[in-house]
Structure 1
């Protein structure tokens, strides 16, 4: 699915893989070998090279490739280099960044076709933009009301390359910003963070309760000592208690959360709140934060105005309207 559908590669295509994986991560190394071999079986001409923080790359060299794919686990070592190089890029080569590389990525994240995911994202975008209120509830106690901000931008992640931003995998998300958020969010799915941690991020049995007023976390609680301590330190940082993202997961074939820091968990169909650095375009909103933490729900019910649009792990939009995103952004 990734090779033929999302990357649009076929017999005679040329692919450059620039990978940065931990040498001790044998599963990821083996998965990379299998991926390269599978490309060969599809008659794709592959050049794979290891890169590190000191590696340079001339974007003029891309002309010989159909696709350039940066492969990593979690560490983002070439984000600035890519964004700078792609600023005025008008070539035919498409550029992507693939995170969470390993067998779980392929087992869980590439079962929806690119067209199917894009179609769902455009429908979610249209309905979300048109509504005046988003209500999120759950059996574990979430009762949250979000009023979309007419000045805020909407993003769409469906595995597309839009220069100057590389396409990002795994994909499946629509997001925006709003400060008009009131209620309680009980994160019972997982946590994802823009900074490293070593513990299992899944929250089943150790839920995090966030009480939110005017787009700020005013109080929190968690019975797990480690996560409670983490939240305490997190919310002491300037603006790290402000909601920066309203996230709607759209990859409906991800069937479980994974036990490591991962974008996979964020793409699970449903809802998450990103606390900290906001979805922004230009100077709006007029604040920032150096950290971003996603609190992800496991089994939410989502209403746009009075219509249930998500329940039991599926989007059920009655409207056939579609809309484009306002902003395509490199996620990490």
Structure 2
């Protein structure tokens, strides 16, 4: 079963997420068109127990609008997706979230966890993807990605 084109991501709804995610690519929904490429003024998201704990950005409008979007319902600020883009033909941010999230690297989303695909037992009315750049990824102690390039 496929959900959108181009193809090229694996995703899950994580049980537990803690840490810092720097969104220096794009954010989804209408915010993608409004704010575009965030490389020059990233959005830094602190996540604790699967929920947004704090937001930082030099762009106050982005920070405030993202906060409002992720405050829509009780689960809008909850990590609903952890994904790895796998489409090596997608090479750079173009400002269109459905393609940008397929770039090799990591993106997360807050809100709806697509339970029909992930088995998550909760819902949200919102879903907003957050794409970063040049990630390093390890699985079980083995590095599988360096600076957004697959090593395997």
Shared fold, TM over 0.5: yes
- Residue 167 of structure 1 deviates from its aligned partner by 5.9
The CA RMSD measured in Å over matched residues stands at 2.0
Runs of 4 or more off by more than 4 Å in structure 1?
Answer: none
> Out of 94, 100, 118, which is 1:258 matched to?
94
Contact 1:176-1:246 at 8 Å conserved across structures: yes
What is the distance in 2 between the residues matched to 1:240 and 1:314? 31
Contact 2:32-2:97 at 8 Å conserved across structures: no
Contact 1:192-1:265 at 8 Å conserved across structures: no
Residues 90-135 of structure 1: CA deviation (Å, up to 9, x unaligned): xxxxxxxxxxxxxxxxxxxxxxxxxxxxxxxxxxxxxxxxxxxxxx
Secondary structure (helix, strand or coil) at the match of 1:231 reads: helix
What is the distance in 2 between the residues matched to 1:297 and 1:283? 22
Deviates more, 1:234-243 or 1:266-275: 234-243
Bigger Rg over Cα: 1
Q: Is 1:287 aligned with 2:119? A: no
Q: Is 1:216 aligned with 2:35? A: no
Residues 18-63 of structure 1: CA deviation (Å, up to 9, x unaligned): xxxxxxxxxxxxxxxxxxxxxxxxxxxxxxxxxxxxxxxxxxxxxx
Q: How many residues align?
A: 151
Aligned counterpart, 1:243? 79
Q: Which has the higher helix share?
A: 1
Secondary structure (helix, strand or coil) at the match of 1:241 reads: coil
> Out of 204, 220, 223, which is 2:39 matched to?
204
Q: Which has the higher strand share?
A: 2
> Where does structure 1 lack aligned partners over 5 or more consecutive residues?
1-161, 318-332
Q: Is 1:184 aligned with 2:41? A: no
